[in-house]
Amino acid sequence: MFDSLYPRLKALAEGPRAEAALAAVAFAESSFFPIPPDVLLAPMALAKPARAWRYALIATVASVIGGMLGYAIGAMLFDTVGQWLVNLYGYGAKVEALKQTYAQWGWLVILIKGLTPIPYKLVTIVSGLLGYNFPLFVALSIVTRGARFFMVAGALHWFGEPLRAAMERNFAAVLGGFAALVVAGFVIAIKVF
């Protein structure tokens, strides 16, 4: 199964719809989708290292716009969609603690959580739910998501050839490692957030 997945991801990354797919995944991940955009960003940057910075910019802009939708879900739709998403990720009982944390450390929460594998949609929805300062939320989102995607793009730009060789040799192990990071992010989020 994994042997056929890598060529498909590589073909998408090299194809004409790659940037649109990256933007769609980055947008959706910031508001409701569980898969991080790194799944597309990595093969795209490996396929075309000279465009790694462009791809990081696309992921950043789409992620911030998706974060605005997540904020709106928290602010306007928490009783329906927002509460369902928060409960889905196991945070229903932690909303009061989050309110207290945000009152004092909201800016730090947004910056740190935006860099980690912890699902960013939780940050965006909770920020909207708690009425966090919207312009500051957007500015912090630009900083944290930009830092994350540009660090990934930089690593892939400078160390792309060994990473590409590793992915081609054993895509299942690379994908398993990435999946482990995502799962660890969810576990950390449940314990810490």
Question: Whole-angstrom Cα distance, residue 137 to residue 53?
Answer: 24
The structure tokens listed for 121 are 């949609």
Instruction: Give the confidence band of 45 by pLDDT, cuts at 50, 70, 90.
Output: confident
Q: Residue 183 burial by CB count (10 A; 0-12/13-18/19+): exposed, middle or buried?
A: exposed
pTM over 0.85: no
Query: What 3-state class would DSSP assign to 112?
Result: helix
For residue 82, what is the enclosing H or E element?
Answer: none
Q: Are 121 and 31 in contact (CB under 8 A)?
A: yes
Of the spans 3-17, 131-145, 160-174, which averages the highest pLDDT? 131-145
Q: Are 168 and 6 in contact (CB under 8 A)?
A: yes
Kindly state the average pLDDT of the residues 38-49. 82
Instruction: Give the confidence band of 141 by pLDDT, cuts at 50, 70, 90.
Output: very high
Query: What's the pLDDT tens digit per position in 66-78?
Result: 999 999 988 998 7
Query: What's the pLDDT tens digit per position in 89-110?
Result: 676 777 777 778 888 888 888 8
Instruction: Give the confidence band of 1 by pLDDT, cuts at 50, 70, 90.
Output: very low
Residue 56, pLDDT above cutoff 70: yes
Question: Whole-angstrom Cα distance, residue 26 to residue 59?
Answer: 5
